[in-house]
Amino acid sequence: MDTKEMLEMNKGSWEINAERFFGRTALPEFGPLAPNEEDLHLFGDVSDKKVLDIGCGSGHSLQYMGGRGAKELWGLDLTTKQIETANELLQTQVVPVNLFESAMEDNPGLPMNYFDIAYSIYALGWTVDLDKTLSNIHQYLKPGGILIFSWEHPLHDRVKRVDSTYYVDKSYLNEGPEYNEAWHHEVIIYHRKLSTYITALIRAGFEVENVIDEVVLPDKVPDGDERRWYSVDKARLIPATFIMKARKK
């Protein structure tokens, strides 16, 4: 299956399942069982900043940025359903909103050397061409602009629970496209090592400033926790989420 076919497959599945994810994993949250922006302060003051959301989904992270005083809200997403929902959610914003239905591997008409901040909350890992996507983002940002993104930790789906025991089910070292177990094989996601993301950022012209894979556990474990994809029990052993911050040189 080539990259075009993978994108078409993933888009089709997202169009069907998008409503399941409306408002989930959006700023100030970075991802399951991870510290959030109010803990980390990675963005700093966003007032008067032009921000770009890569994989903007239902628009809730852009809504958060608008609420913090961002000057312009821009976003792109692969799916029609998500863009329609984001447009509806953001229609009351008093600042300019520009949304594009597009794969992150393509430039749908975004300006170059324009944005102060680009970010991607649990979306950038969907790319089928990491180098091309990061090259695009690097071009969109002003010199000194920052990129912040989060994604499922690449160790997370390598470890599986059987009864009450966890064991390594797949090699962490083998990279490439895989049918995703959590989606019941309806989508294909690339498995990449943490070092691959760091190296790709450097290759694209970024300076990596922070890599975070801390775990934040709730005070109370939810019922049926052991059956959850992101379980507290598993997070006691390995992180569910990683977060990176990089700057355009």
Confidence of residue 21 (pLDDT cuts 50, 70, 90): confident
Tokens at 59, concatenated:
């628009």
Residue 185: pLDDT over 80? no
Q: For the chain, percent helix, then strand, then coil, each to nearest 5?
A: 30, 25, 40
pTM of the model: 0.96
Tokens at 170, concatenated:
């797949």
3-state secondary structure of 215: coil
Q: Which region, left, alpha or beta, applies to residue 152 given φ > 0 means left and ψ of -120 to 50 means alpha?
A: beta
| Percent of the residues in the chain that have a pLDDT greater than 70, as a whole number | 100
Confidence of residue 195 (pLDDT cuts 50, 70, 90): very high
Ordered domains of the chain (ranges, CATH): 3-153+192-248 (3.40.50.150)
CB-based contacts of 76, cutoff 8 Å, min separation 6: 52, 53, 54, 55, 56, 99, 100, 101, 102, 104, 108, 110
In contact, 248 and 206? CB cutoff 8 Å: yes
Return the amino acid letter for 66.
G
Confidence of residue 234 (pLDDT cuts 50, 70, 90): very high
Q: Which region, left, alpha or beta, applies to residue 80 given φ > 0 means left and ψ of -120 to 50 means alpha?
A: alpha
Task: Count the neighbouring beta carbons within 10 Å of the beta carbon of residue 10.
Answer: 21
Tokens at 211, concatenated:
């890599």
Residue that has been written with the tokens 């980390």 in this structure: 40
pLDDT, one tens digit per residue, over 104-121 is: 999 999 999 999 999 999
CB-based contacts of 42, cutoff 8 Å, min separation 6: 148, 210, 243, 245
pLDDT of res. 182: 86
pLDDT of res. 46: 98
pLDDT, one tens digit per residue, over 113-166 is: 999 999 999 999 999 999 999 999 999 999 999 999 999 999 999 999 998 899
Q: How many whole angstroms separate alpha carbon 167 and alpha carbon 165? A: 7
Identify whether 32 is preceded by a cis peptide bond (ω within 30 of 0).
no
pLDDT, one tens digit per residue, over 66-84 is: 999 999 999 999 999 999 9
CA-atom Rg of the chain in angstroms: 18
